[in-house]
Structure 1
Amino acid sequence: MSAQREMKEKNPWHTPVTIIITVIGVIAIVALVTVAVLQNRPVPQKYKYGIVLDAGSSHTALYIYAWPAEKDNNTGRVQQTHSCKVKGKGISSYASEPLKAGESLKLCMQEAEQKVPRKRHHQTPLYLGATAGMRLLNMENSKASEKVFQAVGAALQKFPFSYQGARILSGQEEGAFGWVTVNYLDDRLKQGLETIGALDLGGASTQISFVSDNYDGSESPSNSVTFRLYGNDYNLYTHSFLCYGKDQVLRLALAHQTQSGPTTILDPCFHPGYTETKNYSVLYDSPCVSDRKPLEDPVTFIHNGQGNFQQCQEVVKSVFNFTTCKYSQCSFNGVFQPHLQGPFGAFSAYYFVMNFLNLTDTSIPLETVKEKLTSYCATPWKEIVKQHPNVKLSYLAEYCFSGTYIITLLTEGYNFTSKSYSDIKFIKKIKGSDAGWTLGYMLNLTNMIPAEAPDTPPLPHAGYVSIVTVMALLLFILFIVSLRPLWPSCSKQPQIV
């Protein structure tokens, strides 16, 4: 027994110091592992929000965007969380009743109050950008335009958001911000990938924007916009054609057919059997066509459909000017355009029209697209109405014209060929967010895309914690191994004589 007692006293594992060190080591390891687990546990995400109202020529839409609140300098990934289409027409249509322009926004703004958390209301920026409809109204009647903006501003300031004002975007801004949106959503800017060109079609204007390697902006500086985003420089070609949105270009086409003031026209861009009595003064009440109104015209004219795609194309071509070009190359109306480059995203009315016509698949050869349009336009109006009982007749009547215009604009206007047509992708959304200028506009105003790529630590936080934990475990194991010389005395059993 005395020998066992002596052996126990000599065993270092039974000394108080060794016991304390062992306990502290175990506690340290448990603590490090606990910290690593807790640090990497999913936590509820906090978000910041932004609201943009797109006041277009035919309607207004509200978009809510959100991004992680904890990111430095608001550099977190921005996503669209909600959209609301304002009932009624665009705010420019309320020129004679400006107060109604503000009232029309009420329901969508109330939705925004519900969608954005109450505690974030006062720090959520609210923007309104107006496009070609208000550009035209401002050209025609600047005082009426100011009154509409005053009414809209007064209505928006009643809501608890941080109202940042309303203004008219230039065509160049609209095109450039659309390009930023589609490339940001497709993660091409941050990664420095080849960019996507942007094709935007509204009711009163259309925009084309893309980066071309052989374009430095010197030949036509007014069409050049330079961005430095995430450490990369982009020299963007962009142009907006006012009056060449699908609604205004229809007026141009009808104006071409009614130059002599006839009482009846046979329009190849509308279905056979379509007939409608239209008012001359209503047709010509836009700045896009007001100077073309016949001097002597009846009050009304009868608009009959003929349904001929090829003849409709000739009517559409009549609204383009291909004869004048002072540059090395042009699109139409004497506007410079470099050679097309890369893939393109076509959105807004491009998507909605082509989606209705089941022609969004650009793997379909261009000639097949034209054949399908030929068949569609030739379909009698009565059959079209039966096939689409839930579509408003005024919209339904225009799809033949709009589809023909889109194909003619892309091929004759912008010079897409049968081969490069397949480079176009008709898109409505990218990763859950609507394609359009609104996101790019907000990103620009809030400086959420840094000019330089942000610096990042060599290791992500989770990796750092994991490495610290592993190193601590290794150190503890080495500590145990360092006591190995003492192990034999601990493991041998004493012999009792």
Structure 2
Amino acid sequence: MEDRKDFEFKRFCRKNILAILGFSSIMAVVALIAVGISQHKPLPENAKYGIVLDAGSSHTSMYIYKWPAEKMNDTGVVHQTEECKIQGPGISKYAHKLDEIENYLYECMERAKEVIPSSQHSETPVYLGATAGMRLLRMENEGIADKILDVISTTLSSYPFDFQGARIITGQEEGAYGWITINYLMEKFIKKSNWYGLLAQGSYQQETYGALDLGGASTQITFVPPKMEPVESPDNSLQFRLYGQDYTIYTHSFLCYGKDQALWQKLAKDIEDTSNGVLKDPCFHFGYERVVNVSDLYKTPCTKRFEKTLPFHEFHIQGVGNYQQCHQSILQLFNTSYCPYSQCAFNGIFLPPLQGDFGAFSAFYFVMNFLNLTSKSSLENVRQKMESFCSTPWEEIKTSFDGVKGKYLSEYCFSGIYILSLLLQGYNFTASSWKNIHFMGKIDGSDAGWTLGYMLNLTNMIPAEYPVSKPFSHSTYVFLMVLFSLILVAVIVTALFIFHKPSSFWKEMI
């Protein structure tokens, strides 16, 4: 009777062990096949394209963007694939040269035809957004501004792309689109996935970056401020719903406070105190000289508040190269004598307390990068470097930067001090919050700026998930393949041992 029970027990154990081994081997094989197929499944290669022309005050640039066609609405993984700088000034300078606009755009638009496959031309949207230079021209002469846009529209419509329009965007739009671009590229909107591909549960909102944009004619500051109740300046507040999250952002564009127009303002202010037509300017290097026509000085709406009748038609700039004096002269451009709100930037414009990190791009980056000041260093160190640069004589500067055009080279001293003044006295950054400013040129190959955010908005390309990519990283893939292979080997070895030495095995079992 005892032998019968032993036999039944052995039989029961054998059946269960064989079932477990069989199931384990099948699962290991299935897992190996699944991981292999998933990892080597080809990613979609079909792509769509979009073109945005950034018509700034000093120049125009064309950007070509690309994204996987199969994922246009649910991921919209957009990246910049080409940049083309159009030779010549900003489009506002073509007010009396309308017949030259076609040639102006020709080279870059032909480049777009080469980069984008011909089969995609008719589906590729083209947008042109004009910024502060055209805003100023529209203030002077709306009819001429409209004519320029009409000629541009006719020209761009002649290309085989899907032209979607040319328009002057508002300063508020420029700031908001720049903010979207920075946070899109920094992946501050995207819902992150865990390693097996499921979206993380719960509602998690990452802290966003603020956006600092500086052009030739305007500057924008945009960020998510601390919660404000009530909102003190509704005109500076925008609401977005992105990726299932609500954002209330502060944004303001200061027209006439781009670096080029700020320089014209400073010159118009300073020349009031001269009577002999010679301006000793601390913002230019010692030994530098330039002749400026008074008519050019007062041509822009930005200098109208300083306009007066002068006893000369041109004046001579003579560089002095003094950081402190230049800084004091620039500060006079910012009117901080009144503030109708709890806190202001300058000129009576509301500015809430700064919060978080900021990406500073466009001229913020170009100027500071030229001066080698984009790396993380203390504010005091930045000031010392700027003071040293500005006090260097002009002849030495020309020798050190031989390949840089003289007009641009001569203005880096002013532009650098202006940026410091704008950020510290204009926007209320401090020595402690200076570390929160990150000067950005490109992020993962895409230019930091408003154009990507503009296209994302107009094409409804804001993504909700991570980009299409391999399910596993290489290391994770190798680990899983080795793990499941070892499981399969262990099962086979165990089965072979059981079947080749059944007696000894069952003795151990009892």
Residue 283 (structure 2) aligned to one of 269, 275, 298: 269
Alpha-carbon contact 1:261-1:298 (below 8 Å) kept? no
Moved more, 58-67 or 273-282: 273-282
Query: Equivalent residues in 2 for 1:15-94 (5 A)?
Result: 40-43=39-42, 45-71=45-71, 73=73, 75-94=75-94
| 1:222-256, Cα deviation, whole Å (9 max, x unpaired) | 00111111011111001000000000000000011
For 2:369, the equivalent position in structure 1 comes to: 355
For structure 1, the 5+ residue unaligned runs are 1-28, 489-497
For 1:335, the equivalent position in structure 2 comes to: 349
Query: Aligned with 1:215: secondary structure?
Result: coil
Report the AA paired with residue 345 of structure 1. Answer: G
Moved more, 116-125 or 70-79: 70-79
For 1:197, the equivalent position in structure 2 comes to: 210
- Could you say if the C-alpha distance between residues 319 and 43 of structure 1 is closer, same or farther in structure 2, counting changes exceeding 3 Å? same
Q: How well do the aligned residues superpose, as a CA RMSD in angstroms? A: 3.1
Query: Equivalent residues in 2 for 1:142-221 (5 A)?
Result: 142-191=142-191, 192-215=205-228, 218-221=231-234
How far apart in 1 are the matches of 2:292 and 2:183? Answer: 43
Moved more, 95-104 or 370-379: 95-104
The answer to whether 1:372 aligns with 2:371 is: no
Alpha-carbon contact 1:271-1:397 (below 8 Å) kept? yes
Report the AA paired with residue 440 of structure 1. Answer: G
Shift of 1:389: 1.0
For 1:124, the equivalent position in structure 2 comes to: 124
Residue 309 (structure 2) aligned to one of 286, 295, 307: 295
Report the AA paired with residue 335 of structure 1. Answer: I
Report the AA paired with residue 356 of structure 2. Answer: G
Shift of 1:71: 1.0
Moved more, 368-377 or 84-93: 368-377
- Could you say if the C-alpha distance between residues 105 and 305 of structure 1 is closer, same or farther in structure 2, counting changes exceeding 3 Å? same
Query: Equivalent residues in 2 for 1:462-481 (5 A)?
Result: none
Shift of 1:346: 0.4
User: Rg bigger for which structure?
Assistant: 1
Query: Equivalent residues in 2 for 1:203-242 (5 A)?
Result: 203-215=216-228, 218-242=231-255
Alpha-carbon contact 1:307-1:377 (below 8 Å) kept? yes
- Could you say if the C-alpha distance between residues 152 and 30 of structure 1 is closer, same or farther in structure 2, counting changes exceeding 3 Å? same
Report the AA paired with residue 138 of structure 1. Answer: R
The answer to whether 1:254 aligns with 2:253 is: no
Shift of 1:103: 2.4
- Could you say if the C-alpha distance between residues 261 and 228 of structure 1 is closer, same or farther in structure 2, counting changes exceeding 3 Å? same
| 1:340-374, Cα deviation, whole Å (9 max, x unpaired) | 0001110000011011111112x311112111111
For 1:109, the equivalent position in structure 2 comes to: 109
The answer to whether 1:417 aligns with 2:430 is: yes
Shift of 1:37: 5.6
Moved more, 97-106 or 377-386: 97-106
Residue 321 (structure 2) aligned to one of 290, 307, 311: 307
How far apart in 2 are the matches of 1:155 and 1:217? Answer: 47
Q: TM-score scaled to structure 1, two decimals?
A: 0.84
The answer to whether 1:439 aligns with 2:452 is: yes
Moved more, 99-108 or 431-440: 99-108
Query: Aligned with 2:301: secondary structure?
Result: coil
How far apart in 1 are the matches of 2:433 and 2:37? Answer: 53
Q: TM-score scaled to structure 2, two decimals?
A: 0.81
How far apart in 1 are the matches of 2:116 and 2:432? Answer: 46
Alpha-carbon contact 1:63-1:83 (below 8 Å) kept? yes
Shift of 1:261: 5.7
- Could you say if the C-alpha distance between residues 455 and 121 of structure 1 is closer, same or farther in structure 2, counting changes exceeding 3 Å? closer
How far apart in 2 are the matches of 1:377 and 1:343? Answer: 29
| 1:8-62, Cα deviation, whole Å (9 max, x unpaired) | xxxxxxxxxxxxxxxxxxxxx9999989866653536111110000000000000
Query: Aligned with 2:335: secondary structure?
Result: coil
Moved more, 255-264 or 305-314: 255-264
Report the AA paired with residue 285 of structure 1. Answer: K
- Could you say if the C-alpha distance between residues 36 and 57 of structure 1 is closer, same or farther in structure 2, counting changes exceeding 3 Å? same
Alpha-carbon contact 1:204-1:248 (below 8 Å) kept? yes
Residue 387 (structure 1) aligned to one of 400, 414, 418: 400
Query: Aligned with 1:73: secondary structure?
Result: coil
For 1:3, the equivalent position in structure 2 comes to: none
Higher relative contact order (CA 8 A, sep 6+): 2
For 1:323, the equivalent position in structure 2 comes to: 337
- Could you say if the C-alpha distance between residues 259 and 82 of structure 1 is closer, same or farther in structure 2, counting changes exceeding 3 Å? same
How far apart in 2 are the matches of 1:389 and 1:454? Answer: 48
- Could you say if the C-alpha distance between residues 217 and 403 of structure 1 is closer, same or farther in structure 2, counting changes exceeding 3 Å? farther
Query: Aligned with 2:83: secondary structure?
Result: strand
- Could you say if the C-alpha distance between residues 36 and 119 of structure 1 is closer, same or farther in structure 2, counting changes exceeding 3 Å? farther
Report the AA paired with residue 107 of structure 2. Answer: L
| 1:54-108, Cα deviation, whole Å (9 max, x unpaired) | 0000000000000111115262311000000000001001011123233211100
Query: Aligned with 1:259: secondary structure?
Result: helix
- Could you say if the C-alpha distance between residues 160 and 74 of structure 1 is closer, same or farther in structure 2, counting changes exceeding 3 Å? farther
- Could you say if the C-alpha distance between residues 267 and 454 of structure 1 is closer, same or farther in structure 2, counting changes exceeding 3 Å? closer
Query: Aligned with 1:104: secondary structure?
Result: helix
| 1:368-399, Cα deviation, whole Å (9 max, x unpaired) | 21111111111111111111111110001100
